[in-house]
Chain A
């Protein structure tokens, strides 16, 4: 292994160790929250007609909840790691190390992918015995998962770079991530919305992540799968490019 590769692997390992050391907060808590949503909504809306023929409302709900949790945790992993390092001042250890922007980006994003993969697997492991789901398009399922996780991890890095204190991350989460993830068709099909909100939903990138992920399970969704994949890929390219630009230029990192 070259020194550069070892530096990258060390940063990846450190980022995984960081969330692993507080697993109750980083994996268990979001899974419990999502399962509670499932219990409450499935019970309250169990008689509601499902959006798709032959699929119960509870089955419809599970993929959306998994993707919503993935989205929120991908963002939380990178943003909280960076803001903690900034506030504690220990980001200097990384800034003084012989690591380039690509190593930083790759390690932070991969660590977030490990966390979101764990969260998704645990969530599906907990719900599948009670809500069995088909997997009609595994490649789409995995592809959308990867693109969504990496996009939100990139957005989390951007937020972590821009933020100067924890309040800034909280504002990002409360005014951007949470509303967009709740208004993305997790709990309903967008076809059930009034025309304005139906159109508005199509401008929300999280909608395509959830719809594409749902397609992976059921083989059909609210919009054609190519459209979801294109939006997910486009959003990933934009967020990754913005994040890499910040890392390369030293924006808000170098004085």
Chain B
């Protein structure tokens, strides 16, 4: 499978701070790829280097085989980046801004129908002649997405596109990104909403302290966590037996959540312990580990 983005030994220091410590991985063509990590992990620095906003100290990056430095024109024509910050040019209307952006990438009037289509699909059609400064934050976010896609790039990077947007817009963006992906676009997503990454991404890299902690398919990543969660509510305000107290992971709405290691703590052993103590159960609920559990486990290890 052809590589959409190849990242090889990328290092970046800001003074004494090592923002990226020799990061190397490939993003495959047609993939929906998640790039996750806590704040300061190096995600935005890496995206900025791919986009040409920051120079790497060492290493190289190519987009569909074109080096982002020596062949920057070809690389940038194949790439669309939605920046994290809500930036806009106050001098222009939405449609003017999109046509200008298309022009930068060498697209002329042939791009205009696509611009109008994007305005429709992103619910911006009635704002096409509005000044950028008159738009709400959510609308500006949509324009940023349209700007990144205006030249129909085969590779799109979305740097926290749903940060600070309402649920409706988030769902619109999810549908839009999923449609793009189905049409063959490689989508790279960074987000702090881990359920979003779990839902959308086929493969995920977790970056922490400037290094890749793990890069796996989403099911592989989820399978890494050797635990299951069992939430139980005890009848008659009974106390949990001493033998189970070491397994408590937390309390939620009067229920106790136990963290059970697969193979070591079968669910049946919990029920047996409760029966032996003469405790009745009012409610039982099991939960599979989600990306957040994996994320916390991996990034906490990194911090240590």
Contact = CB atoms under 8 A, between A and B. Distances in A.
Interface of A: 1-4, 6-7, 9-11, 13-14, 17-18, 21-22, 85, 88-90, 92-100, 250, 254-255
A254 B54 contact: yes
A21 B131 CA distance: 12
A240 B26 CA distance: 40
A28 to B, nearest CB: 17
Contacts of A95: 51-53
Across chains A and B, which 8 residue pairs bring their CB atoms closest together, nearest first? A3-B106, A10-B103, A89-B87, A97-B104, A98-B73, A98-B76, A90-B89, A255-B54
A99 B106 CA distance: 10
A99 B55 CA distance: 16
B100 interface: yes
Contacts of B91: 17-18, 21-22
Interface in B27-61: 48, 51-55
B184 interface: no
A254 B104 contact: no
B77 interface: yes
Given A96-B76, A96-B81, A255-B53, A85 B89 contact: yes
B48 A100 contact: no
B108 A6 contact: yes
B112 interface: no
Contacts of B92: 14, 17, 21
B88 A11 contact: no
A240 B53 CA distance: 23
B83 interface: yes
Please indicate which of the listed interface residues A1, A10, A96 has the most CB atoms of chain B within 10 Å of its own CB: A96
Given A3-B77, A255-B48, A255-B54, A88 B88 contact: yes
A7 B55 contact: no
Given A92-B51, A97-B76, A254-B52, 6 more contacts: A4-B73, A7-B105, A11-B104, A17-B91, A93-B104, A97-B104
A95 B83 CA distance: 12
Interface in B92-145: 92, 96, 100-101, 103-108
Contact of A7 (B53, B90, B96, B106): B106
B87 A92 contact: yes
A99 B72 CA distance: 9
Contact of B85 (A4, A10, A89, A99): A89
Contacts of B186: none
A88 B108 contact: no
Contacts of B53: 92, 95-96, 254-255
A15 B106 CA distance: 17
Contact of A96 (B51, B85, B100): B51
22 contacts: A3-B77, A4-B106, A6-B108, A7-B104, A7-B105, A9-B103, A10-B103, A14-B92, A17-B91, A17-B92, A22-B91, A88-B87, A89-B85, A90-B87, A90-B89, A92-B53, A92-B83, A93-B104, A97-B101, A97-B104, A97-B105, A98-B76
B185 interface: no
B106 A6 contact: yes
Nearest to B132: A90
Given A92-B53, A254-B54, A255-B54, A98 B87 contact: no
Contacts of B52: 95-96, 254
B147 interface: yes
A21 B77 CA distance: 29
B54 A6 contact: no
Given A21-B91, A85-B89, A88-B87, A98 B100 contact: no
A254 B73 CA distance: 16
Contacts of A254: 52-55
B137 to A, nearest CB: 14
Contacts of A2: 106
A9 B103 CA distance: 8
Nearest to B48: A255
Nearest to A250: B55
B86 to A, nearest CB: 8
Contact of A98 (B14, B85, B104, B147): B104
Nearest to A89: B87
A100 B73 contact: yes
B88 A98 contact: no
A14 B88 CA distance: 14
A27 B77 CA distance: 36
Contacts of B106: 2-4, 6-7, 98
Nearest to B87: A89
B88 A90 contact: yes
Contact of A93 (B54, B55, B101, B107): B101
Contacts of B81: 96
Nearest to B79: A96
A98 B54 contact: no
